[in-house]
Amino acid sequence: MGLNLPGLSDLGDEARRTGRVLLSVLADRVELLGLELREAKLRFLSALVLSCLAILFGLLALVTLVMLALELTPAEARIYVLAGIVLAALVLAGAAALAVRRGLGKPLPFAQTLAELEKDKRCF
Q: Please give the pLDDT value at position 124.
A: 62
Question: Domains in the chain: how many in total?
Answer: 1
Is 83 part of a structural domain of the chain?
A: yes
SS3 73: coil
pLDDT digits (tens, 9 = 90+) for 36-73: 889 989 999 999 999 999 999 989 988 997 899 889 99
- Tell me how far apart the terminal alpha carbons of the chain are, to the nearest angstrom: 37
- Predicted local distance difference test score (pLDDT) of residue 117: 73
Domain span at 76: 6-123
Q: Over the stretch 1-22, which tens digit does the pLDDT of each residue have?
A: 455 555 567 777 888 888 888 8
Please state the pTM of the whole predicted model.
0.47
In a domain, 85, yes or no: yes
Tell me the CA distances in angstroms from 106 to 2, 50, 94, 99, 101, one per residue in order. 61, 18, 19, 12, 9
Q: What's the Cα-to-Cα distance from 42 to each of 39, 63, 115, rounded to whole Å?
A: 5, 32, 22
Question: What percent of the chain clears pLDDT 90, i.e. is strictly above it?
Answer: 34
Distances (CA, A) of 27 to 19, 32, 119: 12, 9, 15
Is residue 113 included in any domain, yes or no? yes
The answer to whether residue 1 is domain-embedded is no
